């Protein structure tokens, strides 16, 4: 059973940042906030965020899920796989359903004026809300915090998720509210899967703690 502080510290880190970002979203006009989220830029920062943003690619949770299936128990695999899988389905339904008309920052390039745009980056135009990368990385990092099972490391893992989510704004692939909602979707989906796998009646099933290849004949 994971240390309860791991869950509470991860959630507290996410909530603390989310409240601050929510206040900024509510109190600042959308385009003004997007411009304000770029106080510093340089070639080094461009290269850094171009790299770190890939942590939120859908292939990363998939690869981690397969590694977990090979080296850990089925419960761990389900936490990563179901958390990331369910949240990905929800975010795509929202993107291409009720929020399909929400455009990305590139479509407002003229209004944003002289704001920094990363050279050579292919910018997406549509399906902005919510952020899929932010959803994926928060779902994945919640599971990683459970696996590591150290409270201080759960804060570090939450900070990684925050950094990846911010990269989407820095690169002008998303607006601030996109990453805010994506982070909430990823975190809450994985938290619900965690409660099902570790705290519900279902969690007592012995096969959840078996590893691949260790089933009785």
pTM for the model: 0.94
171 vs 69: which has the higher pLDDT: 171
Is pLDDT above 70 for 44? yes
Per the DSSP assignment, residues forming a β-bridge with 73 are 211
Residue 16 has pLDDT above 70, yes or no: yes
- CB 70 within 8 Å of CB 212: yes
Q: Going from the N-terminus, what domains does the chain have, and what CATH number goes with each?
A: 4-30+46-208 (1.20.144)
- Average pLDDT score over the chain: 93
Instruction: Identify whether the C-beta of residue 142 lies closer than 8 Å to the C-beta of residue 87.
Output: no
What pLDDT score was predicted for residue 13?
96
CB crowding 142-154: b at 16 or more within 10 Å, else e = bbbbbbbeebebb
| φ and ψ at residue 42, rounded to 5 degrees | -165, 170
Residue 217: per-residue pLDDT: 43
């Amino acid at each position: 059973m994971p240390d309860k502080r791991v869950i509470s510290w991860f959630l507290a880190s996410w909530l603390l940042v989310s409240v601050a970002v929510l206040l900024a979203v509510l109190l600042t006009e959308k385009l003004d906030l997007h411009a304000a989220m770029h106080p510093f830029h340089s070639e080094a920062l461009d290269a850094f965020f171009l790299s770190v943003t890939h942590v939120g690619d859908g292939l990363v949770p998939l690869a981690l899920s397969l590694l977990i299936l090979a080296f850990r128990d089925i419960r761990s695999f389900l936490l990563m796989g179901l958390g990331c899988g369910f949240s990905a389905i929800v975010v795509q339904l929202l993107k291409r359903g009720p929020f399909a008309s929400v455009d990305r920052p590139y479509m407002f390039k003229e209004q944003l004026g002289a704001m920094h745009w990363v050279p050579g980056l292919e910018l997406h135009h549509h399906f902005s809300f919510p952020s899929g990368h932010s959803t994926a990385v928060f779902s994945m990092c919640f599971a990683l915090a459970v696996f590591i099972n150290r409270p201080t490391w759960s804060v570090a893992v939450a900070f990684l998720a925050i950094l990846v989510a911010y990269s989407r704004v820095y690169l002008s692939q998303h607006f601030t509210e996109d990453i805010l909602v994506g982070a909430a979707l990823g975190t809450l989906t994985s938290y619900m899967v965690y409660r099902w796998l570790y705290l519900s009646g279902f969690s007592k099933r012995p096969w959840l703690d078996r590893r691949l290849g260790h089933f009785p004949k």
